Amino acid sequence: MTAPEGIGRLFDVDRRGRMPYDEAYALQQELLEKRVAGEIRDTLIIVEHDPVITVGRGTDVQGLSVDLPVREVERGGEATYHGPGQVVAYPIYAMPEGRRDLHRYLRDLEEVLIRVLAEVQIEGRRSSSGTGVWIGERKVASIGVAVRRWVAWHGMALNVHTDLTAFQGFKPCGLDADVMTRVADHADVPPANLLFEVLIVKHFGEVFGLELPELPPREESSFPELPILPS
């Protein structure tokens, strides 16, 4: 099948709002197969999950002491929590030949979130202790990816208003649970996640050199013009 016009330069955004993890996982798999086949453009899925623990490959799930659903997935990294108040972004991204470097890809995802934090005057940083983004000595975002035929999936999770007690009972990313933090504890931010969804889309495009498609022109209203009544 011929790839759509603009593939590799344009990307789409699929914003799903609140979505159970299993449904988001199935959506990723569906879009991954289509992207591998060249049937769709790169696509950034934006979701907020119902409470769930996801566990990367090679992690012992027997050590988890939680009362939440646990899902074992293909991504790298250890166990982490997803839930309300967290923005999760899953890029279905075909790495061009010049960017087929998993280490660089992870650093680029970190760069996206560091730029997002800078928009609300927070200094995010990388850490030698593992992949993700930190504010000072506390971790605010987790990243874990998988790659199939040079198409990346899974992605990044930014704690905005996340209930941090949900990280208790296991070692998120192999760390002490008290290390986790959220944006709302470091800046005055809106109560909803929309601002951070928009910022992630903006900076994902900038870091990866991608553009959103132009919106189609607005159709003129088909409603008849109403008469102006005397006051």
pLDDT digits (tens, 9 = 90+) for 101-130: 999 999 999 999 999 999 999 999 999 878
Query: Measured between alpha carbons, how far is 116 from 121 in angstroms, rounded to an integer?
Result: 9
Instruction: Return the closest-CA partner of residue 135 out of 168, 183, 176.
Output: 183
User: Quick one: pLDDT at residue 31?
Assistant: 98
173 is catalytic: yes
Three-class secondary structure of residue 148 per DSSP: strand
Query: Measured between alpha carbons, how far is 56 from 178 in angstroms, rounded to an integer?
Result: 21
Instruction: Return the closest-CA partner of residue 15 out of 166, 172, 204.
Output: 204
Is the per-residue pLDDT at 60 higher than 80? no
Residue 34 amino acid letter = K
What is the percentage of the chain residues whose pLDDT exceeds 90? 69
CATH number of 11-208: 3.30.930.10
Structure tokens at 98: 């010049």
Task: Note the pLDDT tens digit of each residue in 141-155.
Answer: 999 999 999 999 999
Work out the mean pLDDT of the chain and round it to a whole number.
88
Q: Which of 19, 45, 173, 175 is catalytic?
A: 173
- Which of 34-38, 74-78, 126-130 has the largest mean confidence? 34-38
Contacts 24+ apart (CB under 8 A), 104-108: 105/145, 105/152, 106/131, 106/143, 106/145, 108/207, 108/208
Residue 135 amino acid letter = I
Is the per-residue pLDDT at 43 higher than 80? yes
Has this prediction a pTM greater than 0.95? Answer: no
Domain spans in the chain, listed from the N-terminal domain onward: 11-208
Is the per-residue pLDDT at 180 higher than 70? yes
Is the per-residue pLDDT at 198 higher than 90? yes
Query: Measured between alpha carbons, how far is 208 from 206 in angstroms, rounded to an integer?
Result: 6
Q: What is the mean pLDDT of residues 160-183?
A: 88
CA distances to 19, 25, 88, 139, 157 from 83, rounded to whole Å, are 10, 15, 9, 16, 10
